[in-house]
Amino acid sequence: MSKGPELIITEKDNAARRIADILSGESAEADRINGVNVYKWGGKRCIGLSGHVVGVDFPPEYNDWRDVEPVELIDAPIDKHPTQENIVAALRRLARNARRVVIATDYDREGELIGKEAYELVRDVNEDVPVDRVRFSSITDREVTEAFDNPDGLDFNLAAAGEARQIVDLVWGAALTRFLSLSARQLGDDFISVGRVQGPTLKLIVDREREIEAFDPEDYWELFADLQKDSESFEAQYFYLDEDGNEAERVWDGDDAEEAYETLRNVEAATVDSVRRRTRTDDPPAPFNTTQFIRAAGSLGYSAQRAMSIAEDLYTAGYITYPRTDNTVYPEDLDPRELLDAFTANRTFGDDAQNLLEQEEIEPTAGDNETTDHPPIHPTGELPSRSDLTEDEWDVYELVVRRFFATVAESAKWEHLRVVADAGGLSLKANGKRLVKAGYHEVYPYFNSSESFVPDVAEGESLAVTDTEIEEKQTQPPRRYGQSRLIETMEKMGIGTKATRHDVIQKLYDRNYIESDPPRPTRLARAVVEASEEFAELIVSEEMTAQLEADMQAIARGDASLDDVTAESREILEDVFEGLMESGDEVGKHLQKSLKADKTVGACPESDHDLVVRKSRRGSYFIGCDGYPDCTYTLPLPSTGKPLIMDEECDEHGLSHVKMLAGRKTFVHGCPLCKAEEADAEEDLIIGDCPECGAGAESETPQNGDGETDGEHGELAIKRLRSGSRLVGCTRYPDCDYSLPLPRRGDIEVTDEECEEHDLPEIRITYDDSDREPWDLGCPICNYRAYQAEQAGGDELQSVKGIGEKTAEKLKAAGIEDVPSLKEAEPDALADLVDGVGPDTVRKWQSAAD
């Protein structure tokens, strides 16, 4: 019997550290094996995995998509192999002489499977060591201690349920993905994927788009009147009772609307029929789970992906709890007063925390979902200072803090006032609301708490009708899903998990299935959904997950085996493939046609082919003729962003407008041919000498392409390129490629002011929209230098090529604070002052700084 250590295995490093702290009474020390943290104390070791450290896949002989018929994957063997070699190696080393192993992975199905994977790795190197399993719902002193005092065994059935899911997902996903990609001859980076979760998610988006397109708008009218009491005026709306006796505001017949409007217009006063006052309690929101957090961050303008990425950073830094959770009920051991206490000294949160602490009773809200793996997202009580975080991180951190505050705050109270009046036999109503007790709104400003004013009136009172209005409207198609609505709907449908839903959406973007935000489906997406609906309906249906979920529960209960479930699933897929293989060509053609439609801008002006968006070998986008190489017509596109073809077409050329997607820098490029023609028509405007090869340049004698002096001096000119961008560039381009950027929007005005340092006129940008102030961009060289400095994190020195963060620090220590002083410095003297820098390097910087 070996006397080695006891080995505790957790799902992630963070959990390992916290559990080690609890069990050791904070005496555990961190060690590293193979670059993996191992916490040790007494005779114990604790190591954190990184989720699954082994993966399932087909053996290598199935790797070549062209050599293997997709249908063969259905019955192909499936292997498990380490995906995190260093962790697996460290685990093996520790397990070899362990005297006992305790699996302490998350308390959920996937955690049980990860635990079983660890168990198998342990067994590979140690046949006899006893292996226990501990389960706890949150990593706290009490729960962890209790769990380790009462160890249990691994639940192999539950783990098998997870394995069945892995197999079904791999077999269906890989076989169908390869089939669709092969049939459309899309084998590169742009393969065509389907899967149990991405399928129904994509169908959700495509179905909504179908509804929008099929929508037939209907006209209706709404009538309003301003009522006046004393000098206070408020708006009331006309309503009537429909045939079911329900209140209705929309008038569907134009003549009826006109008639009512005439009546209303001719009355001078309305009589108050009824006044109803009600107070409504507005309860604070439940604690954050992942979905609700993403939704709240979404209303602040963060994409689902971005919100999660920030949350993960805040978690890793120790400021908030684990961000992937379904739980909306705080664990019992969370003491709200203690947590609030941690905020009382803080500048931003102190007052709110103090006020909350002064409440007599603190009873946190609770949602419907209580799970066992992680608590709802809340601040840890370890506070960052504002400068520790980026602006976005602080924004999100504040949201999490304030959400916690809200959940322990009091309800708000609204007073609703509803007034119904009669105007010439027509009913008018006005709804006012007033926040009489702010409650949680005081600490959580993210919900709308705006009031609407209706004055105190009495029944029978007469009010002047001062203004009447009729509005013609149309019923609107259903709205597209935004990212957070999509995630909420996925959650309701039971597809994906808290940790993957936002990734699935990102995957749809990456696969060219959706574009823009809120996401719109591409033609390719429709074709994939259509093909799936016809031949493999299950893969775009939420039913597949529901069925799998039921099967997994049967396995977990012991009522079914992994083999039963996977064999049945494989049989269904065999049937799917029978239909699919018969129509493979047809499916492929449909997909190819849609792929091309997504790229087509319009007809080529020089041949009978289409113009399509293409990618150059250097990775930039341009527009080229589909008839290439017979026709070599091209049009350039801007260098920033990914082109999206819009519905709008150019009246003159019949080409679709192009939008360049680049996150916050997204802009509409418009018709690419118009842009090119505008550039051709505009003459370059000379503003000075080129600093590199102009008359005053010291550094180099201008040379032509052969390396001989061509005797010509370059000048700087404001130019408009065919790609639509504008710049200040050398007239000797391409022999001299000196250039400075100019903004895409606005009119460029060359002023009389001149920059003394560079002998260039200062430039001003003016805008057509009258409310936008002109921008004094100034000297283009100074402007570009300031821009580069901003990009380099506010440090001007780092804008110079060759100077990084460390060098900038050294230069500052030597008294060089900015670019002008760098340029004035004597190279030999400066080199003496700065470690590891020679006079030639200084000269290089000086010429680069120009």
Partner DNA sequence: GCAAGGTC
Interface with DNA by CB under 7 A: which residues? 11-14, 48, 50-53, 55-58, 62-66, 73, 83-84, 106, 108, 110, 114, 165-166, 169-170, 172-174, 177-178, 181, 187-188, 191, 193-199, 312, 316, 324, 495-500, 503-504, 507
Distance between CA 553 and CA 560 in Å, rounded?
9
Helix (H, G, I), strand (E, B) or coil at 342: coil
The distance of closest approach from Cβ of residue 76 to DNA in the complex, given in angstroms and rounded to an integer, is 9
469 and 279 Cβ atoms separated by less than 8 Å: no
> Closest by alpha carbon to 589, among 191, 180, 176, 66?
180
Phi/psi of residue 573, each to 5°? -65, -35
CB atoms within 10 A of CB 41: 17
> Closest by alpha carbon to 15, among 46, 41, 40, 44?
46
Distance between CA 662 and CA 665 in Å, rounded?
5
Tell me which residue has tokens 């000086």: 846
Cβ proximity to DNA, 344 vs 497, nearer residue: 497
194 and 529 Cβ atoms separated by less than 8 Å: no
The distance from CA 159 to its chain's CA centroid, rounded to whole angstroms, is: 32
Enter the tokens of residue 1: 């019997």
H helical segments located in 72-188: 85-96, 109-125, 141-149, 156-183
The distance of closest approach from Cβ of residue 122 to DNA in the complex, given in angstroms and rounded to an integer, is 18
Cβ proximity to DNA, 64 vs 361, nearer residue: 64
Distance between CA 717 and CA 208 in Å, rounded?
50
Catalytic, 322? Answer yes
Cβ proximity to DNA, 290 vs 634, nearer residue: 290
Cβ proximity to DNA, 105 vs 365, nearer residue: 105
599-625 exposure pattern, b = at least 16 Cβ within 10 A, e = fewer: bbbbebeebebbbbbbeeeeeebebbb
Enter the tokens of residue 285: 């929101």
164 and 555 Cβ atoms separated by less than 8 Å: yes
Extract the runs of DSSP E, i.e. beta strands, from 629-732. Answer: 634-636, 642-649, 656-661, 667-670, 685-689, 715-720, 726-730
Cβ proximity to DNA, 197 vs 320, nearer residue: 197
Cβ proximity to DNA, 495 vs 625, nearer residue: 495
The distance of closest approach from Cβ of residue 53 to DNA in the complex, given in angstroms and rounded to an integer, is 6
Given 107, 220, 322, 440, the catalytic residue: 322
The distance of closest approach from Cβ of residue 252 to DNA in the complex, given in angstroms and rounded to an integer, is 44
The distance from CA 399 to its chain's CA centroid, rounded to whole angstroms, is: 17
Please state, in angstroms and as integers, the Cα–Cα distance from residue 293 to each residue in 198, 283, 285, following that order: 22, 18, 11
The distance of closest approach from Cβ of residue 51 to DNA in the complex, given in angstroms and rounded to an integer, is 2
Interacting residues of 200 by C-beta distance below 8 A, sequence separation 6+: 493, 495, 540, 541, 542, 544, 545
47 and 115 Cβ atoms separated by less than 8 Å: no
The distance of closest approach from Cβ of residue 242 to DNA in the complex, given in angstroms and rounded to an integer, is 45
The distance of closest approach from Cβ of residue 73 to DNA in the complex, given in angstroms and rounded to an integer, is 7
Cβ proximity to DNA, 193 vs 731, nearer residue: 193
Chain length of the chain: 850
Cβ proximity to DNA, 89 vs 727, nearer residue: 89
By annotation, the residues acting in catalysis are 322
